[in-house]
Amino acid sequence: MITKEQADAFGAIETPFYFYDLDLLRETLDRYAALIARYGYNAHYALKANADDRILEIIRDHGLGADCVSGNEVKLAVKSGFDPKKIVYAGVGKSDKEIRTALRAGIFCFNCESVPEIRIINDLAAGMGRTAQISIRVNPDIDAHTHRYISTGLKENKFGISPWAFQDVADLLAQCRNVSFIGLHVHVGSQITEMPVFALTCRRIEELQQWFIDHGIPVRNLNLGGGLGVNYQDPAGEPVARFEDYFDTIHRNLVVRPGQQVHFEPGRALVAQCGHLISRVLYVKAGREKKFAILDAGMNDLVRPALYQAYHAIENLSSSKRKLRYDVVGPVCESSDCWGKNRLLAACTRGDLVAIHSAGAYGQVMAMRYNQRDLAKAVYSDDLKK
Ligand code: LLP
């Protein structure tokens, strides 16, 4: 929710920009951290969702570690003060340079996504006189019931190691002196809102870890990835994700062996709702059949609708009581640069401020300069209070 005072303060700021409600971020993190503590779990924030420095600082101060998917993310996490002993690193295509960066940083764990990657990490670690802790990212062949571009746990997806390759993993681990196997990792997709998907993941991981235990390979850590979705339809009604339901589902369905540690890698659920993309109406174009509200924010600022047909709630922050239907579009020369079709909004006039909600995750980090457009800057609620 954007308050009247905040909207008034927006008037002086050049649009488009990202507005971050840091109070909501802190409240979200307080609730998340309390549940993590209650169950004795460990959490690593997925930097890919939002790597803004003020946001990282707040997340770090709530005691979370970092989940990275590139050497540069590892470097950024370290620079932002995350404890290297709480950094995990996944990715199907870790380059030698990136692996060396992570080895040098002394991270907690590499989440390995293929058999040859284990060998390379071992050899690079040997060359540096180090031992790398690794987990195996398993491909559990689970349908996450989410958009196919953000579904990662099906056997046709490129992620993780399938159970049929476990024997190769075991044989390789027996030869490798510079990697130490510490556990299993799984991440089946993003924007998952159906709790049974997580229940199924827990049951699958139990079956899969049994294979390692039966082969005399202890599994000390279980990392269940991220994936919890947020309410894009009604962000004001559900500003904080359903963490209670989520952890209750995990707690009831995951078999935790004595001494085992359980890890999570939340991204979207922590940061999506605290971010809004704020823009202005440039023009209202009345066609025969429909009206277009043309905004100054485009797909280059927030690519999710163009890339995944993602829904984001749109609100005209001006005070008009009259409601009309618009196709809300951006200025970029692509027909996919569309924020929403046939949306009911307060009647738009040039200069009105329009908020595109739930833009805190995979928004600013995925921005690009297509059409040579400027990158939208960040504005923080804390600074408006001053
Ligand atoms: N862990 C791993 C290994 C991941 O691949 C991801 C996200 C996460 C954790 C964090 O997942 P989350 O809690 O945010 O669902 N750009 C897309 C989302 C891509 C997600 C990629 N992996 C979007 O805008 O919807």
Using pLDDT thresholds of 50, 70 and 90, give the confidence band for residue 257.
Answer: very high
CB-ligand 1 contact for 225 (6 Å cutoff): yes
DSSP conformation class of 364: G
DSSP conformation class of 349: -
Q: Tell which atom from ligand 1 comes closest to the C-alpha of 303.
A: 24
- In this model, does residue 157 exceed pLDDT 90? no
**3 state SS for 286-307:** ECCCCEEEEECCCCCCCCHHHH
CB-ligand 1 contact for 265 (6 Å cutoff): yes
CB-ligand 1 contact for 227 (6 Å cutoff): yes
What is the predicted pLDDT for the residue at 160? 86
Which residues fall within 8 angstroms of residue 163, CB to CB, at 6 or more apart?
Answer: 138, 139, 208, 211
**Host H or E run for residue 322:** none
Pocket test for ligand 1, best of 190, 271, 273 (most atoms within 8 A of CB): 190
Distances (CA, A) of 201 to 135, 162, 226: 17, 14, 12
Q: Tell which atom from ligand 1 comes closest to the C-alpha of 190.
A: 15
- In this model, does residue 162 exceed pLDDT 80? yes
Using pLDDT thresholds of 50, 70 and 90, give the confidence band for residue 158.
Answer: confident
Domain 65-265 homologous superfamily, CATH: Alanine racemase (3.20.20.10)
Spacing, Cα 47 to ligand 1 middle (Å): 9
Using pLDDT thresholds of 50, 70 and 90, give the confidence band for residue 74.
Answer: very high
Q: Give which of 270, 229, 268 is closest to 366, Cα–Cα.
A: 268
Hey, what are 295's tokens? 């905004």
DSSP conformation class of 383: H
DSSP conformation class of 12: T
Q: Cα separation of 325 and 16, whole Å?
A: 22
Q: Cα separation of 303 and 368, whole Å?
A: 9
Residue ranges per structural domain of the chain: 4-17+273-384, 65-265
CB-ligand 1 contact for 60 (6 Å cutoff): no
Spacing, Cα 362 to ligand 1 middle (Å): 9
CATH code that applies to domain 4-17+273-384: 2.40.37.10
Is the fold of 4-17+273-384 the same as that of 65-265?
A: no
**pLDDT by residue (tens digit) across 165-198?**
999 999 999 999 999 999 999 998 999 999 999 9
Q: What are phi and psi of 190, to 5 degrees?
A: -125, 160
What is the predicted pLDDT for the residue at 289? 86
CB-ligand 1 contact for 304 (6 Å cutoff): yes
